[in-house]
Structure 1
Amino acid sequence: MSASIETYRAQFPVLAQQLYFNHAGVAPTSLRVAAAVREWMDDVVQHGVKHERGWEARAEQARGLAARIIGAAPEEIAFVRNTSHGLGLVAEGLDWRPGDEVAVATAIEYPSNVYPWLHLKDRGVEVREISAPGGGVTPEAVAAALTPRTRLVAVSSVQFASGFQTDLEAIGALCERAGVLLCVDGIQSVGCTQVDVKRCRIHFLSADSHKWMLGISGIGFLYVDQALLPRLRPVLVGWRSTTDAWNFNRSHFELRPDAGRLEEGSHAFTGIYALGAALELLLEVGMPTIEARIRAVVATLDEGLKELGCTTGPSPEHRAGILTFLPPRGEARTLAAWLGERDVSLSLRRGRIRLSPHFYTSPEDAGRLLQEVRGFLGR
């Protein structure tokens, strides 16, 4: 590994204690992010509200970084608490009519991308199943699910359990031809792979920072295509939603024209400072570099696990940063627990062990993990 990547590894002290292959679950955050949180806390402790303008400037800087990492404009970004919050704002804010349909693969999606759509039942909206027998959503399956009543397709960019990467560009083109909205749960891709919402014709994307973005829980962002903003009714409104937000001497209810209309009140500055620092680190390394390094480690793991007789997935053409596997003998749950006792951080999802390295995961880390699996199988 290059010296620069070793420097970044030093930002994550957890790596000295654990083999960390759980970025699709909860990632460790960096010393840089922790310092950003302390910076705001120290400021408010020592100075109160004196530097409030600086806080607001940092929030706008973080908004710009969020826009940059997905190829959007800052005016199309709203801060949200988490991915579920952003998807809920979309589900509850659109002007649904009885008989409308949402196409979603409820059998494989994470609940955050299922429950907001099911919750629309009392408004007459029906959920239409996208078939996904292979553990992922394909353009062909989406096309088969569309009907004249379909108004929106909801899909994850990468499926949390299988690791199957969705072909968003093909599905976006399909939705555009059909006149259907595309809403994406982006938490398993932003910070892991290169994301371009414009190229993929995505109308809405929600993601929070505690996974691949290497941030903390409780903060994320929602992208809303500029052309869709007038059609998305804010579920909650407050002083910050309006065009004259800082004038507290009058009531002037005029919603902002940008995505800031979805932010009803005071910012969570600890989270926003953390988000900004996390995104700054990722963009500093560069998303092409990050994606290439993650894919290289996943390929190494794939090859090594197959040599040990394990069954792996998804196939190279359908994967991003997640690799799942089953041991050739014994239960996956037993192996996962055994690895956990040896300070390997990973997840068990739907009966398979899920590995998710990041850009600073070294070839040596991959080798040590494979050695641990080898030790288990040789008991």
Structure 2
Amino acid sequence: MSAPFESYRAEFPVLGEQLYLNHAGVAPTSLRVASAVKGWMDDLVNHGILHERGWEAHCEHVRRLAARIIGASPEEVAFVRNTSHGLGLVAEGLDWKPGDEVAVATGIEYPSNVYPWLHLKDRGVAVREIAAPDGGVTPEAVSAALTPRTRLVAVSSVQFASGHRTDLDALGLLCERAGVLLCVDGIQSVGCIPVDVKKSRVHFLSADSHKWMLGISGIGLLYVAKDVLPRVRPVLVGWRSTTDAWNFHRSHFELRQDAAKFEEGSAAYPGIYALGAALELLLEVGMDAIGARIGDRVARLDAGLRDLGCDVGPGPEARAGILTFLPPGVPVRALSAYLSAKKVIHSVRRGRIRLSPHFYTTDEELDRLVALVRAYQPG
């Protein structure tokens, strides 16, 4: 493992006691994230709101970092509680008409990217199924699902269960040509692989920080493309949604023109400080380097597990940071329990063991996982 990657392991004390292969679930966070949150708390404890203007300035700094990591402008980024919150703001905020359709692969998507669209039924909006027999959404399958009534395609950038990476560039071009909005659940890609919402022609992207971004639960980002911002009505509004937010001496209801109109009330300072520290770490390492490194980690796992005769997926052409496998002749739940007892942090999704290393995962850790699978003997 090269020195630049090695040096970041000290930021994550959990790596000293666990083999952490569950960044697609809940990732550990870093000492610098904890320090950022503690720094804000200490300021509040010792000085009250004396430095509130500094907190606000820091929030805008974090907004710029969030925009940078997805290739957006700060005016297109809002802070949200989680991925579901962001997707819900999009689903509830668009001006739907009875008969409109949303194309979604409900059979494979995480519930956060299904329920907001199903919830539109009482507004006359229908969900049209995207076929995904192989665990991933392809441009061809989306094209087949589109009708003249389709207004939006909702898709995960990477499928949580199978690990299949969506070709967002191809899908974005398809949607642009069809005049259809593209909404992305980006939680399994932001922080894992390079993301460029402009290059991919994405209109909306939501992701929270407790997975690949190495942040904490309760804070995330919502991207809304500048050209569609006027079309999304804030579901909730408050003092911060307006153009004269800090003037409390008059009522002047004029909504902001940027994505911050979706932030109706007081800022979640601890979460935003945590997000900022997490993003600074990722950008310091570099998303190109992180994406390449994670790809190398997954390839090493793939090779080792295939040598044991495991059924491994997805293939190299359709994966990001997730690898799933089925061991030959071994009950999955029993093997999972064995790995957990050995402090291997992983998940089981739809009957397969799911592994998701990050850039700091070492060769030795990956080889240890393979050795544990090899050594396991069903009781």
Gaps of 5+ in 1: none
Task: Give 3-state SS (helix, strand or coil) of 1:223's partner.
Answer: strand
Matched, 1:161 2:161: yes
* Alpha-carbon offset, residue 147 of structure 1: 0.1
Structure 1 residues 153-177: Cα deviation after superposition (integer angstroms, max 9, x where no partner): 0000000000000000000000000
What's the TM-score once normalised by structure 1's chain length? 0.99
Once the two structures are superposed, the pairs formed by residues 178-217 of structure 1 within 5 Å of their partners are 178-217=178-217
* Alpha-carbon offset, residue 378 of structure 1: 8.5
Q: How many residues align?
A: 379
Q: Which amino acid aligns with 1:249?
A: H
Structure 1 residues 185-244: Cα deviation after superposition (integer angstroms, max 9, x where no partner): 000000000000000000000000000000000000000000111000000000000000
Task: Give 3-state SS (helix, strand or coil) of 1:248's partner.
Answer: coil
Structure 1 residues 297-332: Cα deviation after superposition (integer angstroms, max 9, x where no partner): 100000000001100000100000000000001211
What CA RMSD, in Å, does the superposition of the two structures yield over aligned residues?
A: 0.8
Q: Which amino acid aligns with 2:179?
A: G
> Relative to 1, partners in 2 of residues 1:97 and 1:378: Cα closer, same or farther, differing over 3 Å?
closer
* Alpha-carbon offset, residue 9 of structure 1: 0.3
- Residue 329 of structure 1 corresponds to which residue in structure 2? 329
Once the two structures are superposed, the pairs formed by residues 1-379 of structure 1 within 5 Å of their partners are 1-377=1-377
Contact 2:334 2:378 in 1 (8 A): no
Q: Which amino acid aligns with 1:25?
A: G
Separation (CA, whole Å) in 1 of partners of 2:366 and 2:288: 21
**What stretches of structure 1 move > 6 A for 4+ residues in a row?**
none
* Alpha-carbon offset, residue 2 of structure 1: 2.2
* Alpha-carbon offset, residue 25 of structure 1: 0.1
Separation (CA, whole Å) in 2 of partners of 1:305 and 1:68: 36
Separation (CA, whole Å) in 1 of partners of 2:231 and 2:353: 41
Q: Which amino acid aligns with 2:305?
A: L
Q: Which amino acid aligns with 1:175?
A: C
Separation (CA, whole Å) in 2 of partners of 1:378 and 1:342: 15
Separation (CA, whole Å) in 1 of partners of 2:378 and 2:249: 74
Structure 1 residues 84-106: Cα deviation after superposition (integer angstroms, max 9, x where no partner): 00000000000000000000000
Separation (CA, whole Å) in 1 of partners of 2:337 and 2:260: 44
Gaps of 5+ in 2: none
Separation (CA, whole Å) in 2 of partners of 1:378 and 1:299: 27
Task: Give 3-state SS (helix, strand or coil) of 1:312's partner.
Answer: strand
What's the TM-score once normalised by structure 2's chain length? 0.99
* Alpha-carbon offset, residue 5 of structure 1: 1.7
Separation (CA, whole Å) in 2 of partners of 1:217 and 1:378: 36
* Alpha-carbon offset, residue 3 of structure 1: 2.3
